[in-house]
Structure 1
Amino acid sequence: MTTPKTPVADPGTASQDSLDIVSGDPAADNPAAGSPAAARFAAAYPVRPVPAPGPVDTAPIATTPAALQELDGLWKAVVHETRTRGNDIHLPISLAFAERLCRAYPEADAELVRVATLLHDTGWAHVDESRIISEGFAGDWRKAAIRFEHEKQGCDVARRVLPGLGYSEAFIERVCEIIDGHDTRPVAQSLEDALMRDADRLWRFDQAGIALASSWFKMDPATYTDRLTAEIVPELITQAAHDMAAADLNRSTALLKTAVIR
Protein backbone atom coordinates (compact mmCIF):
# COMPACT_ATOMS: atom_id res chain seq x y z
CA MET A 1 0.00 0.00 0.00
CA THR A 2 1.32 3.44 -0.88
CA THR A 3 -0.04 6.18 1.34
CA PRO A 4 -0.56 9.61 -0.26
CA LYS A 5 2.17 12.01 0.80
CA THR A 6 1.03 15.08 2.69
CA PRO A 7 3.30 18.04 3.43
CA VAL A 8 3.39 18.99 7.09
CA ALA A 9 1.88 22.39 7.74
CA ASP A 10 4.37 25.15 8.44
CA PRO A 11 3.32 26.81 11.69
CA GLY A 12 4.60 30.11 10.37
CA THR A 13 2.45 30.25 7.25
CA ALA A 14 -1.01 30.60 8.79
CA SER A 15 -2.30 34.05 9.62
CA GLN A 16 -3.29 34.85 13.18
CA ASP A 17 -6.86 35.40 12.00
CA SER A 18 -7.06 31.90 10.57
CA LEU A 19 -5.60 30.44 13.75
CA ASP A 20 -8.17 32.30 15.84
CA ILE A 21 -10.98 31.01 13.63
CA VAL A 22 -9.89 27.41 14.09
CA SER A 23 -9.47 27.35 17.85
CA GLY A 24 -7.94 30.52 19.19
CA ASP A 25 -4.91 28.45 20.25
CA PRO A 26 -2.16 27.95 17.64
CA ALA A 27 -0.54 25.20 19.71
CA ALA A 28 -3.79 23.24 19.76
CA ASP A 29 -4.04 23.28 15.97
CA ASN A 30 -0.34 22.69 15.34
CA PRO A 31 1.19 20.91 18.35
CA ALA A 32 4.68 21.21 16.87
CA ALA A 33 4.42 24.98 17.21
CA GLY A 34 4.81 24.63 20.97
CA SER A 35 7.86 22.37 20.82
CA PRO A 36 11.12 23.53 19.23
CA ALA A 37 12.31 19.93 18.87
CA ALA A 38 9.07 18.86 17.20
CA ALA A 39 9.23 21.89 14.91
CA ARG A 40 12.79 20.98 13.89
CA PHE A 41 11.73 17.41 13.15
CA ALA A 42 8.77 18.61 11.10
CA ALA A 43 11.05 20.93 9.13
CA ALA A 44 13.63 18.20 8.50
CA TYR A 45 10.96 15.68 7.42
CA PRO A 46 8.21 17.81 5.84
CA VAL A 47 6.32 14.97 4.12
CA ARG A 48 3.97 12.61 5.94
CA PRO A 49 4.19 9.69 5.98
CA VAL A 50 7.98 10.05 6.03
CA PRO A 51 9.34 8.22 2.94
CA ALA A 52 11.63 5.27 3.65
CA PRO A 53 15.10 5.43 2.07
CA GLY A 54 15.92 1.86 3.08
CA PRO A 55 14.27 -1.54 2.57
CA VAL A 56 10.80 -2.09 4.02
CA ASP A 57 10.11 -5.61 5.27
CA THR A 58 6.39 -6.41 5.45
CA ALA A 59 6.70 -10.12 6.22
CA PRO A 60 5.18 -11.43 9.47
CA ILE A 61 7.16 -10.03 12.38
CA ALA A 62 7.75 -13.53 13.75
CA THR A 63 10.16 -14.09 10.86
CA THR A 64 12.54 -11.40 12.15
CA PRO A 65 12.64 -11.38 15.95
CA ALA A 66 14.86 -8.80 17.60
CA ALA A 67 18.21 -10.47 17.16
CA LEU A 68 20.86 -8.28 18.72
CA GLN A 69 22.22 -10.09 21.77
CA GLU A 70 23.88 -6.91 23.00
CA LEU A 71 20.56 -5.99 24.63
CA ASP A 72 20.27 -9.24 26.59
CA GLY A 73 21.75 -7.56 29.66
CA LEU A 74 19.11 -4.86 29.49
CA TRP A 75 16.33 -7.42 29.12
CA LYS A 76 17.62 -9.22 32.21
CA ALA A 77 17.68 -5.95 34.14
CA VAL A 78 13.98 -5.32 33.51
CA VAL A 79 12.47 -8.80 33.81
CA HIS A 80 10.30 -7.55 36.69
CA GLU A 81 9.00 -4.71 34.53
CA THR A 82 8.06 -7.09 31.72
CA ARG A 83 5.59 -8.97 33.92
CA THR A 84 3.04 -6.15 34.02
CA ARG A 85 0.36 -5.31 31.44
CA GLY A 86 1.59 -7.88 28.94
CA ASN A 87 4.97 -6.20 28.52
CA ASP A 88 6.63 -9.59 28.06
CA ILE A 89 4.66 -9.83 24.80
CA HIS A 90 4.39 -6.16 23.86
CA LEU A 91 8.01 -5.11 24.31
CA PRO A 92 9.79 -7.91 22.36
CA ILE A 93 7.40 -7.56 19.43
CA SER A 94 7.73 -3.77 19.47
CA LEU A 95 11.52 -4.09 19.52
CA ALA A 96 11.42 -6.38 16.50
CA PHE A 97 9.40 -3.74 14.65
CA ALA A 98 11.81 -1.04 15.83
CA GLU A 99 14.75 -2.91 14.33
CA ARG A 100 12.89 -3.23 11.02
CA LEU A 101 12.12 0.47 11.04
CA CYS A 102 15.77 1.29 11.72
CA ARG A 103 16.74 -0.68 8.62
CA ALA A 104 14.20 1.32 6.63
CA TYR A 105 15.57 4.60 8.06
CA PRO A 106 19.33 4.01 8.34
CA GLU A 107 20.00 7.67 9.19
CA ALA A 108 18.37 7.14 12.60
CA ASP A 109 20.38 6.34 15.73
CA ALA A 110 19.40 2.68 15.88
CA GLU A 111 20.80 2.09 19.35
CA LEU A 112 18.70 4.94 20.73
CA VAL A 113 15.56 3.63 19.03
CA ARG A 114 16.12 0.08 20.27
CA VAL A 115 16.85 1.00 23.88
CA ALA A 116 13.98 3.49 24.08
CA THR A 117 11.59 0.94 22.59
CA LEU A 118 12.67 -1.79 24.99
CA LEU A 119 12.17 0.49 27.99
CA HIS A 120 9.28 2.72 26.97
CA ASP A 121 6.51 0.90 28.86
CA THR A 122 8.51 -0.46 31.79
CA GLY A 123 6.94 2.23 33.97
CA TRP A 124 3.66 0.30 34.04
CA ALA A 125 5.28 -1.99 36.62
CA HIS A 126 5.63 0.92 39.04
CA VAL A 127 2.12 2.39 39.05
CA ASP A 128 -1.09 1.23 40.72
CA GLU A 129 -1.88 -1.86 38.66
CA SER A 130 -5.58 -1.63 39.51
CA ARG A 131 -5.74 1.67 37.60
CA ILE A 132 -3.99 0.53 34.43
CA ILE A 133 -7.06 -0.86 32.68
CA SER A 134 -9.73 1.25 34.39
CA GLU A 135 -7.98 4.57 33.63
CA GLY A 136 -5.31 3.85 31.05
CA PHE A 137 -7.64 2.25 28.51
CA ALA A 138 -10.92 4.08 29.03
CA GLY A 139 -12.34 7.38 27.86
CA ASP A 140 -9.77 9.95 26.73
CA TRP A 141 -7.05 7.49 27.68
CA ARG A 142 -4.14 9.45 26.22
CA LYS A 143 -4.73 12.18 28.80
CA ALA A 144 -5.25 9.86 31.76
CA ALA A 145 -3.08 10.65 34.77
CA ILE A 146 -1.91 7.04 34.88
CA ARG A 147 -0.41 7.50 31.40
CA PHE A 148 1.73 10.42 32.56
CA GLU A 149 2.72 8.45 35.64
CA HIS A 150 3.91 5.43 33.67
CA GLU A 151 6.03 7.64 31.41
CA LYS A 152 7.73 9.23 34.42
CA GLN A 153 8.27 5.84 36.02
CA GLY A 154 9.71 4.52 32.75
CA CYS A 155 12.29 7.30 32.82
CA ASP A 156 13.12 6.34 36.40
CA VAL A 157 13.68 2.74 35.26
CA ALA A 158 15.97 3.92 32.45
CA ARG A 159 18.01 6.06 34.83
CA ARG A 160 18.28 3.16 37.25
CA VAL A 161 19.31 0.33 34.93
CA LEU A 162 21.24 1.94 32.08
CA PRO A 163 24.26 3.40 33.94
CA GLY A 164 25.33 -0.03 35.17
CA LEU A 165 25.24 -1.31 31.59
CA GLY A 166 27.72 1.30 30.42
CA TYR A 167 25.40 3.85 28.84
CA SER A 168 26.42 7.49 29.13
CA GLU A 169 24.39 10.08 30.99
CA ALA A 170 23.80 11.99 27.75
CA PHE A 171 22.49 8.86 26.01
CA ILE A 172 20.22 8.04 28.95
CA GLU A 173 18.68 11.50 28.86
CA ARG A 174 17.99 11.09 25.13
CA VAL A 175 16.22 7.81 25.94
CA CYS A 176 14.17 9.57 28.60
CA GLU A 177 13.22 12.37 26.22
CA ILE A 178 11.56 9.73 24.05
CA ILE A 179 9.94 7.76 26.87
CA ASP A 180 8.58 10.90 28.52
CA GLY A 181 5.60 11.76 26.34
CA HIS A 182 5.53 8.73 24.06
CA ASP A 183 1.81 8.29 24.83
CA THR A 184 0.78 11.74 26.00
CA ARG A 185 2.74 14.11 23.73
CA PRO A 186 0.87 14.55 20.42
CA VAL A 187 3.94 14.88 18.17
CA ALA A 188 7.34 13.28 17.68
CA GLN A 189 10.40 15.35 18.45
CA SER A 190 12.96 13.46 16.35
CA LEU A 191 13.23 10.66 13.82
CA GLU A 192 14.19 8.29 16.63
CA ASP A 193 11.12 9.35 18.60
CA ALA A 194 8.97 8.77 15.51
CA LEU A 195 10.37 5.28 14.94
CA MET A 196 9.79 4.31 18.57
CA ARG A 197 6.22 5.60 18.40
CA ASP A 198 5.55 3.68 15.20
CA ALA A 199 7.03 0.48 16.66
CA ASP A 200 4.83 0.94 19.73
CA ARG A 201 1.79 1.01 17.44
CA LEU A 202 2.81 -1.63 14.91
CA TRP A 203 2.74 -4.50 17.36
CA ARG A 204 -1.03 -3.99 17.66
CA PHE A 205 -1.53 -5.13 14.05
CA ASP A 206 0.05 -8.53 14.69
CA GLN A 207 -2.27 -11.32 15.84
CA ALA A 208 -0.64 -11.39 19.27
CA GLY A 209 -1.15 -7.65 19.66
CA ILE A 210 -4.78 -7.88 18.59
CA ALA A 211 -5.45 -10.72 21.02
CA LEU A 212 -3.94 -8.86 23.96
CA ALA A 213 -4.92 -5.26 23.26
CA SER A 214 -8.52 -5.98 22.27
CA SER A 215 -9.07 -7.34 25.77
CA TRP A 216 -7.64 -4.16 27.32
CA PHE A 217 -10.16 -2.05 25.42
CA LYS A 218 -12.95 -4.59 26.03
CA MET A 219 -13.48 -5.05 22.29
CA ASP A 220 -13.94 -8.12 20.11
CA PRO A 221 -11.26 -8.58 17.41
CA ALA A 222 -13.46 -7.22 14.61
CA THR A 223 -14.23 -4.02 16.51
CA TYR A 224 -10.62 -3.65 17.56
CA THR A 225 -9.25 -4.06 14.04
CA ASP A 226 -11.78 -1.49 12.84
CA ARG A 227 -10.35 0.81 15.50
CA LEU A 228 -6.83 0.17 14.24
CA THR A 229 -7.86 1.33 10.79
CA ALA A 230 -9.78 4.37 11.98
CA GLU A 231 -7.56 5.60 14.82
CA ILE A 232 -4.11 4.04 14.81
CA VAL A 233 -3.18 3.99 11.12
CA PRO A 234 -3.57 7.80 10.88
CA GLU A 235 -1.14 8.15 13.81
CA LEU A 236 1.67 6.31 12.03
CA ILE A 237 4.42 8.71 11.07
CA THR A 238 6.54 6.78 8.58
CA GLN A 239 5.72 5.21 5.24
CA ALA A 240 7.47 2.02 6.32
CA ALA A 241 5.12 1.74 9.29
CA HIS A 242 2.10 2.30 7.04
CA ASP A 243 3.25 -0.49 4.74
CA MET A 244 3.94 -2.88 7.61
CA ALA A 245 0.62 -2.11 9.26
CA ALA A 246 -1.34 -2.66 6.05
CA ALA A 247 0.30 -6.03 5.42
CA ASP A 248 -0.17 -7.19 9.01
CA LEU A 249 -3.76 -6.01 9.20
CA ASN A 250 -4.64 -7.86 6.01
CA ARG A 251 -3.11 -11.06 7.38
CA SER A 252 -4.68 -10.69 10.81
CA THR A 253 -8.21 -9.89 9.66
CA ALA A 254 -8.13 -12.79 7.21
CA LEU A 255 -6.88 -15.19 9.88
CA LEU A 256 -9.37 -14.01 12.50
CA LYS A 257 -12.28 -13.92 10.01
CA THR A 258 -13.27 -10.47 11.21
CA ALA A 259 -15.35 -9.83 8.09
CA VAL A 260 -17.87 -12.43 9.25
CA ILE A 261 -17.29 -12.79 13.01
CA ARG A 262 -18.67 -9.44 14.04
Structure 2
Amino acid sequence: MLPPLTPRANHYGHDVASLVPSANGLTGIVELSPGHDEIWRRAKKYLAVRDNDVHTLYAYGIGHALVSQQPDADPDVVLPAILLHDTGWSQVPEDDVLSAIAPGAGRKDLVLQHEREGARIAQSILDEVGWDADRTSEIVAIVDGHDSRREAVSLNDALMKDADKIWRLTPHGVDTVMNWFGLTREEAHRLIASRVHDHLLSDTGRAFARLLAAIVSIDTDPERVALG
Protein backbone atom coordinates (compact mmCIF):
# COMPACT_ATOMS: atom_id res chain seq x y z
CA MET A 1 0.00 0.00 0.00
CA LEU A 2 1.26 3.45 -0.91
CA PRO A 3 1.93 5.69 2.13
CA PRO A 4 -0.20 8.88 2.29
CA LEU A 5 1.12 11.52 -0.11
CA THR A 6 -1.13 14.33 1.08
CA PRO A 7 -2.01 15.42 4.64
CA ARG A 8 -5.16 14.37 6.45
CA ALA A 9 -5.03 17.50 8.63
CA ASN A 10 -3.20 20.76 9.29
CA HIS A 11 -3.16 21.16 13.07
CA TYR A 12 -1.02 24.30 12.83
CA GLY A 13 -3.68 25.96 10.72
CA HIS A 14 -1.33 27.97 8.50
CA ASP A 15 0.08 27.23 5.03
CA VAL A 16 3.85 26.71 5.30
CA ALA A 17 4.36 24.79 2.03
CA SER A 18 6.01 27.77 0.35
CA LEU A 19 8.65 27.80 3.11
CA VAL A 20 9.77 24.20 2.53
CA PRO A 21 13.18 24.09 0.77
CA SER A 22 13.69 22.72 -2.72
CA ALA A 23 14.91 19.13 -2.97
CA ASN A 24 18.02 20.28 -4.83
CA GLY A 25 21.11 19.67 -2.72
CA LEU A 26 19.28 18.19 0.25
CA THR A 27 20.84 15.12 1.86
CA GLY A 28 18.96 11.86 1.49
CA ILE A 29 16.60 12.76 -1.35
CA VAL A 30 16.63 9.84 -3.81
CA GLU A 31 15.32 9.62 -7.34
CA LEU A 32 16.19 7.45 -10.31
CA SER A 33 18.76 9.06 -12.58
CA PRO A 34 17.77 9.31 -16.27
CA GLY A 35 19.94 6.33 -17.21
CA HIS A 36 18.62 4.21 -14.38
CA ASP A 37 15.06 5.20 -15.27
CA GLU A 38 15.64 3.85 -18.78
CA ILE A 39 16.59 0.51 -17.23
CA TRP A 40 13.66 0.58 -14.81
CA ARG A 41 11.10 1.25 -17.56
CA ARG A 42 12.31 -1.86 -19.37
CA ALA A 43 12.67 -4.01 -16.26
CA LYS A 44 9.37 -3.31 -14.52
CA LYS A 45 7.29 -5.55 -16.77
CA TYR A 46 9.39 -8.46 -15.49
CA LEU A 47 8.91 -7.43 -11.84
CA ALA A 48 5.12 -7.58 -11.51
CA VAL A 49 5.35 -10.78 -9.45
CA ARG A 50 4.72 -10.95 -5.68
CA ASP A 51 5.41 -7.23 -5.13
CA ASN A 52 8.87 -7.44 -6.70
CA ASP A 53 8.31 -4.14 -8.49
CA VAL A 54 7.76 -2.17 -5.28
CA HIS A 55 10.47 -4.19 -3.52
CA THR A 56 12.90 -3.25 -6.26
CA LEU A 57 12.25 0.48 -5.95
CA TYR A 58 12.68 0.44 -2.16
CA ALA A 59 15.86 -1.63 -2.55
CA TYR A 60 17.09 0.97 -5.06
CA GLY A 61 16.60 3.69 -2.45
CA ILE A 62 18.45 1.63 0.15
CA GLY A 63 21.22 0.91 -2.34
CA HIS A 64 21.51 4.60 -3.14
CA ALA A 65 22.04 5.32 0.57
CA LEU A 66 24.59 2.51 0.91
CA VAL A 67 26.58 3.68 -2.11
CA SER A 68 26.63 7.24 -0.76
CA GLN A 69 28.61 5.95 2.23
CA GLN A 70 31.06 3.86 0.18
CA PRO A 71 33.25 6.03 -2.06
CA ASP A 72 34.82 3.00 -3.76
CA ALA A 73 31.45 1.63 -4.90
CA ASP A 74 30.19 2.22 -8.44
CA PRO A 75 26.58 3.44 -8.44
CA ASP A 76 26.29 2.58 -12.13
CA VAL A 77 26.88 -1.05 -11.23
CA VAL A 78 25.15 -1.37 -7.86
CA LEU A 79 21.94 0.47 -8.71
CA PRO A 80 21.24 -1.10 -12.13
CA ALA A 81 21.97 -4.50 -10.58
CA ILE A 82 19.30 -3.77 -7.97
CA LEU A 83 16.80 -2.75 -10.65
CA LEU A 84 17.42 -5.98 -12.55
CA HIS A 85 18.16 -8.57 -9.86
CA ASP A 86 14.69 -10.10 -9.52
CA THR A 87 13.50 -9.89 -13.13
CA GLY A 88 14.05 -13.63 -13.43
CA TRP A 89 11.13 -14.46 -11.14
CA SER A 90 8.91 -13.54 -14.09
CA GLN A 91 10.09 -16.76 -15.75
CA VAL A 92 9.08 -18.95 -12.78
CA PRO A 93 5.39 -19.96 -12.46
CA GLU A 94 3.91 -17.45 -10.00
CA ASP A 95 2.36 -20.18 -7.86
CA ASP A 96 5.84 -21.63 -7.33
CA VAL A 97 7.64 -18.41 -6.39
CA LEU A 98 6.91 -18.49 -2.67
CA SER A 99 7.82 -22.17 -2.41
CA ALA A 100 11.37 -21.10 -3.23
CA ILE A 101 11.66 -18.99 -0.08
CA ALA A 102 9.00 -20.22 2.36
CA PRO A 103 10.04 -21.43 5.84
CA GLY A 104 10.45 -25.19 5.74
CA ALA A 105 10.42 -25.26 1.94
CA GLY A 106 13.27 -23.74 0.00
CA ARG A 107 13.35 -24.72 -3.67
CA LYS A 108 16.98 -24.03 -4.54
CA ASP A 109 16.32 -25.05 -8.13
CA LEU A 110 13.85 -22.18 -8.47
CA VAL A 111 16.27 -19.73 -6.87
CA LEU A 112 18.94 -20.74 -9.38
CA GLN A 113 16.44 -20.56 -12.24
CA HIS A 114 15.43 -16.99 -11.38
CA GLU A 115 19.10 -15.98 -11.16
CA ARG A 116 19.92 -17.45 -14.57
CA GLU A 117 16.86 -15.93 -16.19
CA GLY A 118 17.51 -12.61 -14.47
CA ALA A 119 21.05 -12.54 -15.82
CA ARG A 120 19.72 -13.18 -19.33
CA ILE A 121 17.11 -10.41 -19.03
CA ALA A 122 19.66 -8.03 -17.51
CA GLN A 123 22.05 -8.60 -20.41
CA SER A 124 19.29 -7.90 -22.92
CA ILE A 125 18.09 -4.71 -21.22
CA LEU A 126 21.57 -3.31 -20.66
CA ASP A 127 22.50 -3.99 -24.28
CA GLU A 128 19.30 -2.26 -25.39
CA VAL A 129 20.05 0.92 -23.43
CA GLY A 130 23.72 0.90 -24.48
CA TRP A 131 25.18 0.49 -20.99
CA ASP A 132 28.94 0.42 -20.61
CA ALA A 133 30.19 -3.05 -21.60
CA ASP A 134 32.44 -3.61 -18.57
CA ARG A 135 29.73 -2.50 -16.17
CA THR A 136 27.22 -4.69 -17.99
CA SER A 137 29.42 -7.75 -17.51
CA GLU A 138 29.77 -7.01 -13.80
CA ILE A 139 26.04 -6.40 -13.34
CA VAL A 140 25.11 -9.63 -15.12
CA ALA A 141 27.57 -11.58 -12.94
CA ILE A 142 26.09 -10.00 -9.79
CA VAL A 143 22.52 -10.87 -10.81
CA ASP A 144 23.54 -14.46 -11.58
CA GLY A 145 24.23 -15.51 -8.00
CA HIS A 146 22.77 -12.70 -5.92
CA ASP A 147 20.75 -15.11 -3.74
CA SER A 148 22.59 -18.43 -4.00
CA ARG A 149 26.10 -17.03 -3.54
CA ARG A 150 26.62 -16.31 0.17
CA GLU A 151 29.89 -14.37 -0.19
CA ALA A 152 30.28 -11.21 -2.25
CA VAL A 153 32.69 -11.15 -5.18
CA SER A 154 33.17 -7.37 -4.91
CA LEU A 155 32.08 -4.32 -2.94
CA ASN A 156 29.45 -3.60 -5.59
CA ASP A 157 28.07 -7.12 -5.18
CA ALA A 158 28.03 -6.77 -1.38
CA LEU A 159 26.04 -3.55 -1.48
CA MET A 160 23.54 -4.97 -3.96
CA LYS A 161 23.03 -8.03 -1.75
CA ASP A 162 22.67 -5.88 1.38
CA ALA A 163 20.10 -3.56 -0.19
CA ASP A 164 18.05 -6.56 -1.30
CA LYS A 165 17.96 -8.04 2.21
CA ILE A 166 17.56 -4.78 4.16
CA TRP A 167 14.31 -4.06 2.28
CA ARG A 168 12.66 -6.83 4.31
CA LEU A 169 12.95 -4.66 7.43
CA THR A 170 11.20 -1.66 5.88
CA PRO A 171 7.48 -1.20 6.62
CA HIS A 172 6.69 -2.40 3.09
CA GLY A 173 8.97 -5.40 3.50
CA VAL A 174 7.39 -6.47 6.78
CA ASP A 175 3.88 -6.00 5.37
CA THR A 176 4.82 -8.08 2.34
CA VAL A 177 6.30 -10.96 4.34
CA MET A 178 3.25 -10.99 6.62
CA ASN A 179 0.94 -11.47 3.64
CA TRP A 180 3.22 -13.91 1.85
CA PHE A 181 3.05 -16.39 4.70
CA GLY A 182 0.06 -15.40 6.87
CA LEU A 183 2.22 -14.24 9.78
CA THR A 184 1.63 -11.64 12.47
CA ARG A 185 3.90 -8.60 12.37
CA GLU A 186 5.93 -9.96 15.28
CA GLU A 187 6.28 -13.39 13.64
CA ALA A 188 7.28 -11.80 10.33
CA HIS A 189 9.93 -9.73 12.10
CA ARG A 190 11.43 -12.82 13.73
CA LEU A 191 11.56 -14.61 10.37
CA ILE A 192 13.14 -11.58 8.71
CA ALA A 193 15.66 -11.12 11.52
CA SER A 194 16.78 -14.73 11.15
CA ARG A 195 17.43 -14.17 7.45
CA VAL A 196 18.96 -10.70 7.38
CA HIS A 197 21.35 -9.54 10.11
CA ASP A 198 23.85 -12.42 10.03
CA HIS A 199 23.89 -12.40 6.23
CA LEU A 200 24.81 -8.77 5.60
CA LEU A 201 28.21 -8.00 4.12
CA SER A 202 28.92 -4.33 4.86
CA ASP A 203 29.23 -2.44 8.13
CA THR A 204 26.96 0.27 6.73
CA GLY A 205 24.34 -2.30 5.79
CA ARG A 206 24.44 -3.85 9.25
CA ALA A 207 23.91 -0.41 10.81
CA PHE A 208 20.99 0.36 8.50
CA ALA A 209 19.39 -2.99 9.32
CA ARG A 210 19.68 -2.53 13.08
CA LEU A 211 18.03 0.89 12.82
CA LEU A 212 15.09 -0.46 10.82
CA ALA A 213 14.80 -3.48 13.12
CA ALA A 214 14.46 -1.15 16.10
CA ILE A 215 11.50 0.55 14.42
CA VAL A 216 9.84 -2.79 13.59
CA SER A 217 10.35 -3.89 17.20
CA ILE A 218 8.61 -0.80 18.56
CA ASP A 219 5.73 -1.32 16.11
CA THR A 220 4.81 -4.50 18.01
CA ASP A 221 5.85 -3.41 21.51
CA PRO A 222 2.83 -3.64 23.87
CA GLU A 223 3.30 -0.04 24.99
CA ARG A 224 3.18 1.19 21.38
CA VAL A 225 0.24 -1.05 20.51
CA ALA A 226 -1.70 0.31 23.50
CA LEU A 227 -1.40 3.82 22.08
CA GLY A 228 -3.22 2.76 18.92
1:181-201 Cα distance to aligned partner (Å, 9 max, x none): 111112111100000000001
- Contact kept? 1:112, 1:171, Cα under 8 Å: yes
The 5 A counterparts of 1:167-186 are: 167-186=131-150
Aligned to 1:199: 163
Aligned to 2:73: 108
2:188 matches 1:188: no
2:87 matches 1:122: yes
Aligned to 1:239: 203
In 2, the alpha carbon distance for the partners of 1:101 and 1:116 equals 14
- Contact kept? 2:76, 2:135, Cα under 8 Å: no
In 2, the alpha carbon distance for the partners of 1:257 and 1:65 equals 31
- Of 131-140 and 245-254, deviating more is 131-140
- Residues 198/66 of structure 1: CA separation in 2 closer, same or farther (3 Å cut): farther
1:216-250 Cα distance to aligned partner (Å, 9 max, x none): 24422101212333331111111111111111111
Letter in 2 for 1:230: S
Aligned to 2:111: 147
1:19-65 Cα distance to aligned partner (Å, 9 max, x none): xxxxxxxxxxxxxxxxxxxxxxxxxxxxxxxxxxxxxxxxxxxx644
In 2, the alpha carbon distance for the partners of 1:90 and 1:66 equals 15
- Of 67-76 and 91-100, deviating more is 67-76
What is the aligned counterpart of 1:86 among 51, 56, 60? 51
Aligned to 1:37: none
**Structure 1 segments of 4+ aligned residues over 3 angstroms from their partners:** 63-67, 256-261
What is the aligned counterpart of 1:253 among 217, 223, 226? 217
What is the aligned counterpart of 1:215 among 169, 179, 184? 179
In 2, the alpha carbon distance for the partners of 1:259 and 1:147 equals 40
Aligned to 1:156: 120
2:99 matches 1:134: yes
- Contact kept? 1:90, 1:203, Cα under 8 Å: yes
- Contact kept? 1:95, 1:114, Cα under 8 Å: yes
Residue segments in structure 1 that go unaligned for 5+ positions in a row: 1-62
- Of 125-134 and 100-109, deviating more is 125-134
TM-score after normalising by structure 2: 0.80
Of all paired residues, the percent bearing the same amino acid is 26
Residue segments in structure 2 that go unaligned for 5+ positions in a row: 1-27
- Of 217-226 and 114-123, deviating more is 217-226
Offset, 1:256: 4.2
Give secondary structure in 2 for the equivalent of 1:78: helix
TM-score after normalising by structure 1: 0.70
RMSD over aligned CA atoms reads 2.0
Letter in 2 for 1:156: R
Higher relative contact order (CA 8 A, sep 6+): 1
2:68 matches 1:69: no
- Contact kept? 1:85, 1:124, Cα under 8 Å: no
